[in-house]
Every structure is written in structure tokens, then in C-alpha cells.
Amino acid sequence: MGFKVSSTPSTAKLWFYLYFPLLPLEMLYSDKTLKPAVLLDQRRARLWLCNEQASEQGLKSGMAVATACSLCPKVQLLSRQPQQERQQLESLALWAGSFSAQISLQNDNGILLESASMLPYFQGFEPYHRRLQQQLQNIGFSSTIATGHTPLAARLLAHNGGFISTEPEQHLAQLGQLPVAALKLEPKTQERLIGMGLCRLYQLLQLPRNELASRLGAELLDYIDRLRGQQPDPQPLFTPPLQFIQRLDLLHEIDNSQALLFPLRRLLAALEGYLNSRQLRAETLLLELSERQKPDRDACATVRLPLKHSGGEYRSEAWLELWRLRLERLQLQQPIIAMQLSVDQFLERQGVSQDLFVPEKNTQSQRQSPQQLLSRLQTRLGEGAISRIGLVADHRPEKSWRRIPSDQPAASINTAATVTAVPATTAPKGYGAQRPCWLLKQPQPLPAVQLQQQIIRLLQGPERIVSGWWDKSPIRRDYYIGRWPDGRLGWLYRNHQGEWYLHGWFG
């Protein structure tokens, strides 16, 4: 096996090939199924792909449907959806946008990623590989990944069990062990090679180039040159669409809102990659659920669920958490047959600087931002449940504050602050200290007797407030601070009719 790499044009090249052998089958799952399932070929006569559970039962691709059913009666028979396969692969390419800027879709359910230029951003090869594998597991497709110094090398290795390395020599060494049949050459060429006693790839690679060209044709030479990296091998690159809209037709109808999370996870994974590749955050997502057609209606009804994150977010885990909370509140009227996820509102991503001396572990368990917390609360409790308070320039106690809806953008709060900047000079600021922390929602009538008999002792006052003559709720009140028999301090007033009311507590 002692062959030399004569001249690699650039040692810094590194490609990742992600091969999803069961993609056409697994994309049809509606949950994390562990049942045997097989995909039939175009004519629906023979098995084409079997999942692990089916293989354990002894099913193999190429087997007749009848044989399969007799071997394993419970097997789930699925048929191919060629159009959706392409869509699914594109969705995976979107997801891979987190890992590479140059992505190429391959016809054999594979994705090719140019990785060498990305490694610095992931602090090296190991973290990159780890992250990639973690996310692949989350997506839930069985996959084989391989690296290669050329696209072809990565592809060959991925198809033959996978191999991870950063060195071109090791790639070539591993490739050399492959049987010639793995090259998927034309049958005629392959027969000739085996006839010549060239069974393994390294034997082929050892031969002089000009001999190869003259005996086996320029095509094979070209192939080997591309494999070694001596010939450029340009790949068609995937361009992410301008707008993020991902549609998923569900094979099984879903009638439980929580079950929607499983297919949604994949859509969100694609979203994360898409947002990463464009350095954006999504502020509002729109999920459209198509209901099954009712017998008395012509068209399918659609449930539209917008979901807002108050600071914008790109991580799929955070969005999934929000969707989980949102879908908890959803009652499905009809089973769902398809779903579509789109982004309504994008935000620019802001760079986050990390502490140089705090290890990565700590930043992983980093705290949620206040915005994230707000989004969670809004999603679970509904927007009406959350509010803020602000000051208003009005002398009437019940009008000198206001409730601000929590979804109001910060800009309007700033204007509210400028409004309050005015009363800070006009309205006596010192009075704030004379105001109670608790204001009653409604002033509460007090029997005058309590004051006459000094059960409630007035400690301070009166402070006369006469205001609001210009609108419909004028007031004329004398405010006092009084001590209740149990020692509490209350804020009470007498109106112009001489009636007493409690208006707040000095909590």
C-alpha cells in the first residue's frame, strides 16, 4: 500500500459528505417509529429500502412484497414520493447552511459540504465534527458521514461505511482498501479491471497514469484524477431561496397537536441553517396547518398560527420550545394533512462577543436573555396576561400611571418616558414619596364613623387634588395618610361631597 501522493494541489481542502441512505423512507415517518417499514419500488412489486427493524426481520431490498409480508406480517409498506424526496434534500441543504457556505445536493440522497473554510469558526475540526453529528442525531435521519480531500473521495467513503480524517494521505489509504466494484464504474470497465487482477483500488492507483489512459481510456483516468484531487471537480452549488417557506405533506394525518412537533422539528432545523447562512434572526414565524377536507366543503381549511419571538431568534431549540408551548393551547378540529412553515419577519443578527476567559462550557449553560423569557411567558400565558407600567403626566392619581401592553415595541416606551419627563418638572416630584406603592383598582368607600371616632388616625394631609375639569372625570379630593388600628398606613381621601374613600396602601 505504499503509494505516494505525488502532488496535492492544496492540502487545505476538506469536504464532508453526508449520506442519507434511508432518506426516501425515513422522511415518510410521522413519528419516531420503531416498527419495521419498507419502501416499495416504482412498480410497487418489490422492496426497495428497508429500515433497521425490517432488516432484523430478514427483509431485504429486492424481495417481493408477498415474501416480505409473509416474513413479517406487521411490516409497513410505503411507496415512494420522488418529488418530496427532492424537497426533503433541499430542506436538509438549508439545515446544512449552519455548517458550510458551499453546499451541493447530490443525486444519491447525499449532501456535500465544503468544510475547510468553516473550521476556524468552529474552533477546529473536532468541535465542527461533534456539532455536525449532534445535529444530525436531532434531525432523526440515519446517516453516514465521511470526509474527503476531494468531493469524490468523500462521496466514495460515505457510501462505504464512512470515514473521518483530516489528512489526504489517510483518505487515500482508506480508499485504497475499497474493492473496485465500489467505484460504480461501467460494468465493462469493471470486468476488465477484475480480469487484469486489479481488485482493490490501491492497485489501480499504483499504475502509471499514461498506461491507465492508453489501456482503460481517458474516462477512468479522469475519474482517478478527480478522486486524488489532481483534476478540479466543480460541484453544482445549492443556492438557498430568498424566502423561507417549507412545506411538508404528512403521510399520516395528525389529530393530536403535540404530535405536530415531530415533523416541525425538521422544519425548524432547516430554518436554523437558513438563518445561520444568512446571518439573520426570525422574529415572527407562521405555521399553516392544512386540515383534512371536510365532506361538505370544497377546499381544505387552513389553521394559521403566527408565533412571535420578542427579540428574534435563530436557534431551532428555542423555537421548538416556544412552539411546544403554543401547540399545547391548540385544539385541532380536524386532522392535519400538511404543514407549512414560513418566516414573516426577519431581523439582523447582532454579533455577540464572548468572554475570552470563560470556558465554552459556561457559555453553553448561559442564561436566557430577558427577551427570551418574555417570549416564553407570552406564548404560554397569552399576550393579555403580561403588561408593563408607565408614568403619565396627570395629577389624578388613577390616571398618573398606565398599563403598557408587553408586545409594544421599546420605541413607544421611550416616548412614554419622554412624556413622563415633562411631569417630572411640572408635577411635583417630591409627591412621589407621598404616594402609596399599592393603588386600589377601585377606591373603596370608608364609613365616616371610623374617621370621626379616630379609629383611623389621620397622620398627614390634606393634599388637595383638583383636576380633570377638561374631561369627563373631574376630581376634587383631599388626600390624607392615615393609620389603621392594626398599624397599617393607608392613603385615603374625602371627595367634595364629604364621603371618605380608601385609595391605596403604603405597602
| Binding footprint of other proteins on the chain (CB under 8 A) | 355, 357-358, 362, 367-374, 376-377, 380-381, 385-391, 397, 400-403, 406, 413, 417, 420, 428-441, 459-463, 481, 483-484, 486-490, 504-507
Nearer to other proteins, 3 or 501 (CB): 501
Q: Go through the chain and tell me how many residues it has.
A: 507
Nearer to other proteins, 196 or 465 (CB): 465
- The string of DSSP codes covering 247-295 is EEEEEEEE-SGGGGHHHHHHHHHHHHHHHHHHTEEEEEEEEEEEEPPPT
Beta bridge partners of 463: 479
Give the shortest CB-320-to-other proteins separation in angstroms: 16
- What's phi and psi for 121, nearest 5 deg? -75, -15
Nearer to other proteins, 280 or 489 (CB): 489
8 Å CB contact between 150 and 228: yes
Strands 475-483 and 489-495: antiparallel
Nearer to other proteins, 270 or 322 (CB): 322
CA gyration radius, the chain: 35
| Cα angle for residues 250, 256, 257 (degrees, 5° grid) | 85
Which 3 state secondary structure label does DSSP give 203?
Answer: helix
Nearer to other proteins, 13 or 281 (CB): 281
Buried b / exposed e along 350-376 (16+ C-beta atoms within 10 A):
eeeeeeeeeeeeeeeeeeeeeebebbb
Nearer to other proteins, 461 or 468 (CB): 461
For residues 90 and 76, give the distance between their C-alpha atoms in angstroms, rounded to a whole number. Answer: 26
Nearer to other proteins, 267 or 481 (CB): 481
Strands 280-291 and 302-313: antiparallel
Give the shortest CB-26-to-other proteins separation in angstroms: 34
Give the shortest CB-384-to-other proteins separation in angstroms: 8
119 class by beta-carbon count within 10 Å (0-12 exposed, 13-18 middle, 19+ buried): middle
